[in-house]
Amino acid sequence: DQQVKQNSPSLSVQEGRISILNCDYTNSMFDYFLWYKKYPAEGPTFLISISSIKDKNEDGRFTVFLNKSAKHLSLHIVPSQPGDSAVYFCAATADRGSTLGRLYFGRGTQLTVWP
């Protein structure tokens, strides 16, 4: 059962515009969320995270928004650049119990930024 869902397998955006990647989760115990970027033949690279006590976290061109009531988060990239083209994974974890530290990943969204 997929507890973290990324329902858009792909997204295509023009350079300079905003990219919005979406993620939904089902487990109300999740309280820490992360976004990773992955290039082919490489491991995922950590981008940005957000705790459930916040609704927004910003780092340069990347902003993550969290809507706990909707169990939804999104990653905004502004402005988008061709080098942002990669697969983006949403991940979540629960800060308690025997599974502390286990990241639950979505299936990923392939972002393509075209000139």
CA 52-53-57 angle, 5° bins: 80
Helix (H, G, I), strand (E, B) or coil at 84: helix
The yes or no reply on residue 99 touching other proteins (CB under 8 A) is yes
Q: For residue 1, what is the DSSP state? A: -
What is the smallest separation between the CB atom of 90 and other proteins, expressed in angstroms?
A: 8
The yes or no reply on residue 107 touching other proteins (CB under 8 A) is yes
Scan residues 53-92 and list those touching other proteins (CB under 8 A): 89, 91
For residues 19 and 83, is the Cβ–Cβ distance under 8 A? no
**Interface residue list for other proteins (CB under 8 A):** 4, 32, 34, 36, 41-46, 49, 89, 91, 93, 95, 98-103, 105-108
